[in-house]
């Protein structure tokens, strides 16, 4: 009886946690609220900064701040145009350049951004940096962090449900079912879920950089440089959390005109 109650509760939780994301227009699964997520993200951000060397007072750090402010203003303008300004409540924007040779940048839920100086030789200029920062901010705006946490919790609930359903089987069969479930949920659900997030972040990020005044065509050349940096990538797309370089660049070429159109609605013009 307890098993049936637990399974029913799990199904109810998963089925009621689906809603439409107002910025992407797509269905999302999210059981983690910003009220829960932001304080933890802010604390983790402060811990990270205390443990790493933050670069200040240089031309590069000032560029990160300048581009970050423009992307934030673009997000605020974009959301206001759609009547969604309330979705940015609780954001505490911050932009830091960190001394790390990794080619990386990220934005935590709530607008906490870090750019590693190792990526600057690839971004080259403000437009390249706007591509990266727009993309990372887009992950936060689209609630991707919360969705991934929710998906991981759902994956764990599914494993627990499978364990209950097969509790009468032998230990060997239970282990076999769990292995099949783990592989199937990872390759069939979790990895495509992550790849879709990357594509969504590309689309939203292009719009943000365009509204910020940076021609989104520059995103194409940035990702071409990234592809050259990584040697084109060796991990098969189906086993990756990111789209292949070729897929990403092709998608961006298709999305750039749409980003320009969104920006033009808000008075931004490109030659």
pLDDT tens-digit map of 207-250: 999 999 999 999 999 999 988 887 655 454 434 556 778 888 99
Measure Cα distances from 165 to 157, 180, 260 in Å.
12, 14, 52
Minimum mean pLDDT among 66-75, 106-115, 212-221: which range?
106-115
Residue 166, domain member (yes or no): yes
Q: What is the pLDDT of residue 170?
A: 62
Owning domain of residue 151: 32-265
Residue 96, domain member (yes or no): yes
Q: What is the pLDDT of residue 77?
A: 96
Residue 23, domain member (yes or no): no
Q: What is the pLDDT of residue 75?
A: 95
What is the pLDDT averaged over residues 192-212? 82
Residue 13, domain member (yes or no): no
Residue 145, domain member (yes or no): yes
Residue 130, domain member (yes or no): yes
Alpha carbons 11 and 30: distance in angstroms, whole number = 14
Place of tokens 């994956």: 155
Confirm if 91 and 52 have CB atoms less than 8 A apart.
Answer: no
What total of structural domains would you count in the chain?
1
Strand order in the sheet with 94-98: 54-55, 94-98, 112-116, 105-108
Residue 51, domain member (yes or no): yes
Confirm if 13 and 29 have CB atoms less than 8 A apart.
Answer: no
Share of the chain above pLDDT 90, in %: 48
Enzyme catalytic residues: 136
Measure Cα distances from 129 to 9, 141, 234 in Å.
45, 18, 25
- pLDDT exceeds 70 at position 12: no
Residue 127, domain member (yes or no): yes
- pLDDT exceeds 50 at position 132: yes
């Amino acid at each position: 009886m307890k098993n049936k109650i637990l399974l029913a509760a799990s199904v109810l939780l998963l089925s009621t946690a689906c809603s439409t994301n107002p910025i992407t227009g797509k269905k999302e699964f999210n059981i983690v609220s910003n009220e829960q997520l932001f304080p933890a993200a802010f604390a983790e951000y402060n811990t990270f900064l205390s443990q790493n060397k933050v670069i200040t007072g240089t031309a590069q750090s000032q560029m990160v701040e300048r581009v970050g402010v423009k992307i934030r203003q673009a997000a605020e303008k974009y959301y206001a145009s759609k009547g969604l300004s309330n979705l940015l409540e609780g954001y505490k924007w911050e932009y830091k350049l960190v001394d790390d040779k990794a080619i990386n940048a990220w934005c935590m839920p709530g607008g906490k951004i870090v750019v590693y100086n190792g990526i600057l030789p690839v971004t080259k200029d403000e437009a390249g940096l706007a591509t990266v920062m727009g993309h990372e901010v887009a992950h936060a705006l689209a609630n991707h962090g919360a969705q991934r946490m929710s998906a991981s919790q759902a994956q764990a609930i599914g494993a627990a449900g499978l364990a209950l359903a097969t509790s009468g089987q032998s230990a060997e069969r239970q282990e076999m079912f769990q292995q099949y479930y783990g592989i199937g949920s990872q390759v069939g659900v979790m990895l495509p879920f992550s790849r879709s997030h990357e594509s969504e972040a590309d689309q939203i990020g292009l719009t943000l950089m365009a509204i910020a005044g940076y021609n989104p065509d520059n995103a194409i050349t940035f990702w071409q440089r990234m592809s050259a940096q990584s040697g084109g990538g060796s991990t098969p797309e189906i086993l990756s959390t990111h789209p292949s370089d070729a897929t990403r660049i092709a998608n961006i070429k298709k999305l750039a005109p749409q980003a320009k159109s969104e920006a033009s609605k808000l008075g931004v013009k490109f030659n």
